[in-house]
Amino acid sequence: MTSQIDPLKPFLVPPSDPSQHRLFHGRGRTVPGLDWLTVDRYCPIVVATTFAPQDADVMAELESVLRDSLQALSCSVLVMQQRYSGEAKTDIVVGELPDLPTATEDGLQFILDFQRGQNIGFFADMVPARRWLSERAAGKNVLNLFSFTCAFSVVAAAAGAAQVVNIDLSKPALALGQRSHRLNNLDKSRLHFLPHDIFRSWKKLHSLGRYDLIIVDPPTEQKGSFVARKDYEKLLRHLHRLLKPEAELLICLNAPWLGEDFLEEIVAQNLAGAEKVQRLPFAPGFVDENPQAGLKVLHYKYQRPDDL
C-alpha cells in the first residue's frame, strides 16, 4: 500500500552536484500531497522542515524514512523543524550537532545557527547568485544590501573583491557573518559590517565609495523593516547615487504573490539606466511548478544616464 511519504524516497540520495543543499522541494508543488515539506542536506546534518501541521502517523513515518536514509546520505544528524502558525520549533531527532555546523559550497564554509528560530542563517536557493558573484567580484567594490549573515560577502571576498560593504539591521546576523569570514580566512581589512537601517544610511554608504556591484536581496515582508510592495521602488530610487557610471546589480525577490514582471516594472520606473540581462536559473533541487512563484533573481547592467 502506497503511503503519503513514499514519493519522497527517490529524492533521498546524494546529489550529483556537491553544492546542492536541497534534496526535496515540496514547496514547488511538483509532488502532490507533499507541498508542506522540504528536506535539506548540510553534511553531516539533514534538515526536514514542515510548513503545515500533519497527522501524527504521517510525521512518524516521515521521521522513520529520514532516519533510514541518513547513512546513504553520509549524514548522522537529523533535525526536524516545524514552521507554521507564526512559530518555529526545531528538534534534534537523531545524533548531535557538530560544534560548528556549516554549509559547504564551492570550497567555502558558511556557519549555520540552529538556535535562531526558523532561519538557520543560510539560503540554499541562492547557489546560482553566489556563483554569478564569484565570477565577477575580483577587484570590484561590492555593496551587499540586506546582507543578513553575509554569504554573498564571503563569496565576493574569496573571489578577490577590492571591498565589500554589508548592511543589515540585525547585529546577530552580521556577527554570524563575520564568523563565517574568519572561518574562511578572509582579509577583514576589505570588509565593512554596518548594523544600520538602509533607508537612513545613504550618506554612510556613499562615503564608502561608488559601487561596481550591488546586491539587493530584501526580506519579502518584514514589518518595521521592509515590505516589498511599497518599499522596493523607494529603495531603487536611491541606487543611482551609489552606482559607478557602469555597474551591475542583482535584484532579488522571494514573494510567491509578486512575479518577475513586478520587479521589471519597478526597476524600469525607478532606476533609469538599468537594463535587464537575464533571470538567473533556479538552484539545483528548487524546481517550481510556477516559476513566477519561486525566487526571482534578475541580473541588470547599469549605464548612468547623461542627465544624472
Tell me the pLDDT tens digit for each residue of 222-250. 777 788 899 999 999 999 999 999 999 99
Tell me the pLDDT tens digit for each residue of 92-114. 999 999 999 999 999 999 999 99
* List of domains in the chain: 6-98 (3.30.750.80), 124-303 (3.40.50.150)
What are the pLDDT tens digits along the chain (308 aa)? 568 999 999 999 999 888 899 999 999 998 999 999 999 999 999 999 999 999 999 999 999 999 999 999 999 999 999 988 777 889 999 999 999 999 999 999 999 999 876 789 999 999 999 999 999 999 999 999 999 999 999 999 999 999 999 999 999 999 999 999 999 999 999 999 999 999 999 999 999 999 999 999 998 877 777 888 999 999 999 999 999 999 999 999 998 889 999 999 999 999 999 999 999 999 999 988 888 888 999 999 999 998 76
pTM: 0.94
Tell me the pLDDT tens digit for each residue of 179-191. 999 999 999 999 9
Query: What is the 3 state secondary structure string of the chain?
Result: CCCCCHHHHHHCCCCCCCCCCEEEEHHHCCCCCCCCEEEEEECCEEEEEECCCCCHHHHHHHHHHHHHHCCCCCCCEEEEEEEECCEEEEEEEECCCCCCCEEEECCEEEECCCCCCCCCCCCHHHHHHHHHHHHHCCCCEEEEECCCCCHHHHHHHHCCCCEEEEECCCHHHHHHHHHHHHHCCCCHHHEEEECCCHHHCHHHHHHCCCEEEEEECCCCEECCCEEHHHHHHHHHCCHHHCEEEEEEEEEEECCCCCCHHHHHHHHHHHCCCEEEEEECCCCCCCCCCCHHHCCEEEEEEEECCCCC
pLDDT of residue 198: 95
